[in-house]
Structure 1
Amino acid sequence: MINRDRSEERIGFQESAPYKPSYDLQTDFVMVYGIDKTMPERIKAWKEKGYVVHLMTGVAWGEYQDYLYGKIDGQNHWDEAQTNKHESHILHGKDIPYMVPTISYTNFLTERIRIAVDAGVEAIHLEEPEFWADGGYSEAFKREWQIYYKEPWQPPHESVDAEYRASHLKAYLYKRALDRLCSELKEYALVKYNRFLRFYVPTHSLINYTQWRIISPESMLIDLPAIDGYIAQIWTGTSRTPNVYEGVRKERTFETAFLEYGMMQELVSGTDRRMWFLHDPIEDNPRHTWSDYRRNYYKTVVASLLHPEISHFEISPWPRRIFEGKYPKEDGTGVETIPENYATNLLSVMHTLGNMDQQDIQIYGYAEKIGVLVADSMMYQRRNFSNDEIESNARYDGTDPDSVKNEEDIDLLNFSHFYGLALPLLKRGLWVRPVQLDNVRRFSNYLKDYRLLILSYEFLKPEYPDLHNALAQWVKEGGVLIYVGDDSDPYHKVREWWNTGKHQYQYPREHLFECFGLANELEQGIYHIDKGVLGYLRLCPKELTTSNKSADLLREIINHSLETYDQQITLEEKNYFMLQRGPYRIAAVVDESMSSDPLVIKGSFVDLFDPTLKVLDHIQLKPDENALLYDLNYDSKKEDVKVIAASSRIEKIDQHENGFEITVRGPEKIKAAARLFCPKEPIEAKLVIGNVSKQIKCEWHEPSKTVFLNYIHSSTEQTKVVINWQ
């Protein structure tokens, strides 16, 4: 935590506004957002403040009016705007449509972003390559269809086959655009500046894009060598999207975030690519109160930290709207800026995230990962064909949750096929991880860490037959596969490998079972497959969300399959998750579980979700509560001063015979806090800004040998905290 090299890029944020001391969060890197005329100056200003500077810009949308209206090449390009079946443009804002990523549009982006390369940025983030499921009707898309499929364009709403093919093409087009743009500019940077330029893709999770009916390349990007990694754009706005469990539809922020972060971790599993997990203390929907934002923010932080494979974080998009924005008061009488204590605590949590690269990991309770197989093809079958005469213009993007009113659209948004497989296990404290089926053919040992996988083709499709060969081999060598499905999905009828050429199967499941050496028309039950086991539950997975009894059906076939595999194996169900990352204890208790008992944690801990960084020896978490703690007993050495937590960047600690001083940096005028190990009780604490010194709050906690400090940062002068103990 002390004097961390900014080149490690552990924590960062994005901001479109010019540098300002009030949101100078003192992270390792900043992503200057947008490629307008002010971009070079904004890059220069942040760089002068010591940041590693990246650029971020939207790849699907942006302030690209010069291109749309022909000022670049004399040709109007509105025919490249994403368009729905009513010939209405799909807009991100006024004159800001979501774009079809044509070759021409990609070339335009390349030239605009080249300016940032010339300005000296070290990395570029191409945000949110998104194509809406409602799109696919523009003239540009029709041309791309003819080129790709070598056949006339088909309206996506006319058949499941047309919808599936249109969606696959949408993902491919953004893959092509990113490959061309990143490859060209990487070469440009090396040729002109002898500088290796990195490219990252900030993207929502596959789970959220499927839920919100958006198509994106997702796992396709693994095939592009020019892509260096991703930002997992997961925050309260995505993870508070309601889902159904035991017949109840409601927000389940922790559970959804846990699955989303797990999904994004899979994008880089087994690769050398970087992943930053994003958090947002507020969200795009401005109608919540600060207490609501705070409660849900803590849930996403804890959910992300329960995936210790990732230790890099984007701590905030748009800090200006956090520290200068105004949001509704609890009593509804107006709006207010961020509460002082929440601002202090936010900074403490943010800087703590920079210290999460811990090698010592301990998981409490049954720790075996259970995989629910997912695939990019989930995004390709998200149109409502049940009553296409009822047209909904609602496009759920997290900012207006009440816009989706049609019953069929709500059913799609619930995404119960997936949550029906995941929530019955997650709600019992089992470590469920979405596993990318597409990666099974990319990496030969991709499934090596799993003994139990769950699969259904009622909401996704296998894009290649050799996936089944790999799954069959995994089962035969000792894996347990639970297949859930009743062959009811209309998308089984799309023109794909299982029903064309030599393959003539009604459902892809039939080919999978054939690879196991089993008959196509198999009875529901449990089957030995060499050293492994297949459990077959002939039921649509969305039915598993309707009641406790239906969720039990999944849990029962899993337990019986495991008993068939090895009678010594039993799933240890509980109502909490808890692990330790070095000195940090992370815990969450889930509601709607087998028990409403609290989780009791005893020891000596600092509560990192408390603005006063309180020392506790007894923590009791109730259902739907969570904690981020510092374990004071983790390191018994207490001879030297040590930072436990601080809402500052601690650049230096100088300890001497009579005390110590620390150099701190942070956004101006925000109340800061710190708790440190201190070998002796202080007699005074002073804040020194330039040549001015004043007394500050200093609280000694004798049992833990720690001191708590409050102070204010200065943006113009070096700020030091001086402690004397004699």
Structure 2
Amino acid sequence: MLRDRKEERIGFQESAPYHPDYDLQTDFVMVYGIDETMQERIREWKNKGYVVHLMTGVAWGTYNSYLDGEVDGETHWDEAQTDRHGEMIVHGKEPIIPYMVPTVSFGKYIAERIRVAVDSGVEAIHLEEPEFWVNGGYSESFKREWQLYYKESWRAPHSSPDAQFRASKLKAYLYTRVLDRLCTEMKDYALKRYNRVLRFYVPTHSLINYTQWRIVSPQSRLIELPSVDGYIAQIWTGTSRTPNVYEGVRKERTFETAYLEYGVMQELVRGTDRRMWFLHDPIEDNPNYTWADYKQNYLKTVAASLLHPGVSHYEVAPWPRRIFKGNYPSDDGAGKEQIPPDYATTLLHVMHTLGNMDQDNVEIEGESPQVGVLIADSAMFQRMKSEPEAPDAGKYDGTDPEGFQEDGDTELLDFSPFYGLALPLLKHGIPVRPVQLDNVRRYPHYLAPYRVLLLSYEFMKPEHSDIHYALAQWVQDGGALIYIGDDSDPYHNIRAWWNDDQRSESTNTMYHSPREHLFEQLGLKVEQEGIHHVGKGLVHWLSVHPTACSSSKSGADQLRQSVKETLEKLQDSNFRWEAKHYFKIKRGPYIIASVLEESVSEEPLVIPGPVVDLFDPALHVRQEVRLAPGEQALLYDITAGRPQQDKVSLVSASSRIEDLTITNTGFQCVAKGPSNMQATARFYCPFEPISVSSIDQHKTVTTGWEWDTESKTVLLKYKHGSKNKVEIQVRWGRENAKA
């Protein structure tokens, strides 16, 4: 639990100046925003021992000096993202803060702003949320970019599927271009002027969420840029509570959605040297939920993220000031209140535990087949209704779900073709992972970890034909590909490689869908449904639209049955379908579990102890934990984590623990955290203490403690001092020390 801050395992972002009340004592802090206070804020956080990064928006911000022409003498309001009605798409209205079209001119302006941050000595810069809304693409600047990129006149994105797909592809390109130029130029500047290797990261929502919310972003394209060092996976309750449809029922499924979101982001960087931080948020941008609601959904996202052991770095909170100083609806409906003390203590326990998740020993309960659902960046490109007269759904960002529903736009948020493939498996305990289709052509053997892949081109398209050569080889080598689709998607008819310059080898005609080209590489006839052996592997074609797998129980059962039949026919397969109603993983001494609702059983999951419940602010040692459907747990296995020779060792603390010193008569340490906040810590201890005290600014007070004989651990109860730290002294008797 004792970390070097330079490892940057946990951090947070904050736009406010340093304040002891939300000094979380993580490894790094991302100072947010470039303004006249930036340099002072950087200095303050650095003086408190933090590794300091900078975060700033790259799609929106207070760019009024640029928009009004104060920067270069030209106004740039035509670079605001605009919908078909001529209305700007805005992030804020007072002052007006539009989302921007990332033109070359805009990139130069952002570069000069960032240069100031480089001069301030930050070690890394995060360019947040490169977002272009699906209902945008009508401004004059975008029309010019269209003409330059496609060498043809602009077409209204809503006029046809082809126009929408081309508009969205251009949007992704424009943000890729601006990020490459920004990062490359600033890295060169930092190295030349300061001999400093500057790092750049892109905080971004998941591909699943951007597709569902109808936003276009570069996503996997950034992997190809040497100037980008990694990502922050901006996944939190606000994204994961977006309703989806399973077995015909539309509702929030926070855990399941978060599981898939974190999964696709882990997959994004798998096999690369790029860093990924997983984000959690104890509250969210919508300020209208109760503290109980925030907590329940937060714990779901934490558990979902920890079930993906390929990532062990975390942004533990955006905006800790709004968490620890904000007021939100009380659980009794009597008004608004600050964070309940027990929830605050739990948050700090979770945050510091996250810093210790890089564990060598990982055990996943259950022998399940390695199943993936393929998803591509192009899923973002076909999220506008294809009818020219269809209403414009507008912009959804998770902050007003009730208002969006009242407007009758709920169905436009559906991403049922994808969830129809993923949720029927996930709900039966199969650890299905979204697999980044675009990476198939980037990395050799990218698909090697998977034995079964589900694919549909009814909600996305392969942007390059060579993807199919890699898929065909994977099947030949023993993989099982299940294709779900009926070729009914109108986007099959866009101008693309399968119907533009590619012709079937057997018929010398253009392919009507990319599926036809894929099946040709697999040696299958165009209309060959059912299960077929291909080399050492299998192809199973289920000729239905994947939405049908989400719209009813029979549809979900049909998908599950197709996967079962495919597994049974795999050559040399030791995999079996083992349906269960929970997920459980062990990362070192940590046990993470989640029990599913709408699954195969209503029975509780029983986890034997002794374990410490890390979601419990009192850190009780439990001999057994029982989880009902819909519940999650983060536990510490007392037996597995016990140090050799019963030395003093930390189990968990809602503080940063430093300077642990052990003597013959006890031990002492320094606990750091938000000022005057109630905190707890549990330590392995070879002897029962006889006294515990804390020292804050030379003032010594008696500290509460509880001894657990069976586990030989002691629980300490204390407050962080007024200066964000307190020295804790634990004494045991001299006779014990001699013994």
**TM-score, normalised to structure 2's length?**
0.96
Unaligned runs of 5+ in 1: none
Matched residues in 2 for 1:120 and 1:375: separation? 37
From 529, 536, 559, the counterpart of 2:534: 529
Deviation at 1:445, TM superposition (A): 1.0
Matched residues in 2 for 1:118 and 1:61: separation? 22
Matched residues in 2 for 1:501 and 1:148: separation? 19
Cα 1:723–1:443, aligned 2, differ >3 Å: closer, same or farther? same
Answering whether residue 608 of structure 2 is matched by residue 602 of structure 1, we say yes
Matched residues in 1 for 2:433 and 2:586: separation? 19
Deviation at 1:716, TM superposition (A): 2.6
Q: How does 1:100-139 map to 2 (within 5 A)?
A: 100-139=101-140
Deviation at 1:603, TM superposition (A): 2.1
Matched residues in 1 for 2:52 and 2:402: separation? 38
Task: Report the AA paired with residue 487 of structure 1.
Answer: D
What does residue 611 of structure 1 align with? 617
Matched residues in 2 for 1:254 and 1:71: separation? 47
What does residue 718 of structure 2 align with? 711
Match of 1:534, SS state, is: strand
Matched residues in 2 for 1:655 and 1:502: separation? 72
Task: Report the AA paired with residue 672 of structure 2.
Answer: R
Matched residues in 1 for 2:321 and 2:604: separation? 38
Matched residues in 2 for 1:233 and 1:17: separation? 20
8 Å Cα contact 1:213/1:379 also seen in 2:
yes
What does residue 454 of structure 2 align with? 454
8 Å Cα contact 2:160/2:387 also seen in 1:
no
What does residue 516 of structure 2 align with? 510
Matched residues in 2 for 1:510 and 1:485: separation? 11
What does residue 82 of structure 1 align with? 81
Deviation at 1:332, TM superposition (A): 2.2
What does residue 698 of structure 1 align with? 705
Q: How does 1:282-293 map to 2 (within 5 A)?
A: 282-293=283-294
Q: How does 1:286-301 map to 2 (within 5 A)?
A: 286-301=287-302
Cα 1:717–1:224, aligned 2, differ >3 Å: closer, same or farther? closer
Deviation at 1:387, TM superposition (A): 7.5
Deviation at 1:119, TM superposition (A): 0.3
What does residue 670 of structure 2 align with? 663
8 Å Cα contact 2:14/2:320 also seen in 1:
yes
Match of 2:398, SS state, is: coil
8 Å Cα contact 1:690/1:717 also seen in 2:
no
Deviation at 1:594, TM superposition (A): 1.1
Name the Cα RMSD after superposition: 1.2
8 Å Cα contact 1:396/1:403 also seen in 2:
no
From 554, 562, 567, the counterpart of 1:562: 567
Deviation at 1:710, TM superposition (A): 1.2
Matched residues in 2 for 1:386 and 1:342: separation? 48
Deviation at 1:548, TM superposition (A): 1.9
8 Å Cα contact 2:376/2:437 also seen in 1:
yes
Deviation at 1:329, TM superposition (A): 1.5
8 Å Cα contact 2:672/2:724 also seen in 1:
no
8 Å Cα contact 1:666/1:715 also seen in 2:
no
Matched residues in 1 for 2:540 and 2:244: separation? 26
What does residue 230 of structure 1 align with? 231
Matched residues in 2 for 1:323 and 1:336: separation? 11
Matched residues in 1 for 2:407 and 2:160: separation? 21
Match of 1:431, SS state, is: coil
Identity of aligned residues (%): 61
Matched residues in 2 for 1:515 and 1:311: separation? 39
Matched residues in 1 for 2:580 and 2:407: separation? 34
8 Å Cα contact 1:689/1:717 also seen in 2:
no
Instruction: Summarize deviations over 1:28-55 as a string: whole Å, max 9, x none.
Output: 0000000111111110110011100000
8 Å Cα contact 2:531/2:538 also seen in 1:
yes
Task: Report the AA paired with residue 564 of structure 1.
Answer: K
Task: Report the AA paired with residue 282 of structure 1.
Answer: I
Matched residues in 2 for 1:416 and 1:311: separation? 30
Q: How does 1:606-685 map to 2 (within 5 A)?
A: 606-636=612-642, 637=644, 639-685=646-692
Matched residues in 2 for 1:198 and 1:284: separation? 28
Match of 2:202, SS state, is: strand
What does residue 390 of structure 1 align with? 391
Matched residues in 1 for 2:474 and 2:126: separation? 37
8 Å Cα contact 1:638/1:677 also seen in 2:
no
Matched residues in 2 for 1:412 and 1:655: separation? 61
8 Å Cα contact 1:455/1:483 also seen in 2:
yes
Matched residues in 1 for 2:370 and 2:568: separation? 17
From 551, 576, 590, the counterpart of 2:596: 590
Task: Report the AA paired with residue 325 of structure 1.
Answer: G
8 Å Cα contact 1:648/1:665 also seen in 2:
yes
8 Å Cα contact 1:327/1:337 also seen in 2:
yes
Deviation at 1:345, TM superposition (A): 1.0
Match of 2:695, SS state, is: strand
Deviation at 1:577, TM superposition (A): 0.5
Cα 1:195–1:627, aligned 2, differ >3 Å: closer, same or farther? same
Deviation at 1:532, TM superposition (A): 0.6
What does residue 556 of structure 2 align with? 551
Task: Report the AA paired with residue 76 of structure 1.
Answer: T
Cα 1:392–1:453, aligned 2, differ >3 Å: closer, same or farther? closer
Task: Report the AA paired with residue 44 of structure 2.
Answer: A
Answering whether residue 214 of structure 2 is matched by residue 213 of structure 1, we say yes
8 Å Cα contact 2:675/2:725 also seen in 1:
no
Deviation at 1:407, TM superposition (A): 8.8
Task: Report the AA paired with residue 604 of structure 1.
Answer: P
Matched residues in 2 for 1:121 and 1:407: separation? 44
Match of 2:641, SS state, is: coil
Matched residues in 1 for 2:160 and 2:641: separation? 63
What does residue 279 of structure 2 align with? 278
Deviation at 1:568, TM superposition (A): 4.8
Instruction: Summarize deviations over 1:435-488 as a string: whole Å, max 9, x none.
Output: 011111000110010110000000000001111111011101111000000111
Instruction: Summarize deviations over 1:488-532 as a string: whole Å, max 9, x none.
Output: 11111110000012431111111111111111122x310111111
What does residue 22 of structure 1 align with? 21
8 Å Cα contact 2:276/2:311 also seen in 1:
yes
What does residue 45 of structure 1 align with? 44
**TM-score, normalised to structure 1's length?**
0.98
Match of 1:346, SS state, is: helix
Answering whether residue 266 of structure 2 is matched by residue 259 of structure 1, we say no
8 Å Cα contact 1:281/1:322 also seen in 2:
yes
Task: Report the AA paired with residue 610 of structure 2.
Answer: S
What does residue 577 of structure 2 align with? 571
8 Å Cα contact 2:266/2:310 also seen in 1:
yes
Match of 1:405, SS state, is: helix
Cα 1:718–1:564, aligned 2, differ >3 Å: closer, same or farther? closer
Match of 1:320, SS state, is: helix
Task: Report the AA paired with residue 526 of structure 2.
Answer: N
What does residue 58 of structure 2 align with? 59
Match of 1:117, SS state, is: helix
Matched residues in 2 for 1:687 and 1:591: separation? 45
Unaligned runs of 5+ in 2: 504-509, 734-739
8 Å Cα contact 1:366/1:430 also seen in 2:
no
Deviation at 1:408, TM superposition (A): 7.7
What does residue 404 of structure 1 align with? 404
Matched residues in 2 for 1:391 and 1:284: separation? 24
Matched residues in 1 for 2:441 and 2:393: separation? 38
Instruction: Summarize deviations over 1:676-713 as a string: whole Å, max 9, x none.
Output: 11111111110111321000111111111111111111
8 Å Cα contact 1:638/1:678 also seen in 2:
no
Instruction: Summarize deviations over 1:566-623 as a string: whole Å, max 9, x none.
Output: 3753211101100100000000010111111111111210000001011101111111
Instruction: Summarize deviations over 1:304-361 as a string: whole Å, max 9, x none.
Output: 0000110000000000000000001123221010001111111011000000010000
What does residue 469 of structure 1 align with? 469
Matched residues in 1 for 2:278 and 2:679: separation? 25
8 Å Cα contact 2:695/2:727 also seen in 1:
yes
Cα 1:392–1:262, aligned 2, differ >3 Å: closer, same or farther? closer
Aligned length: 723
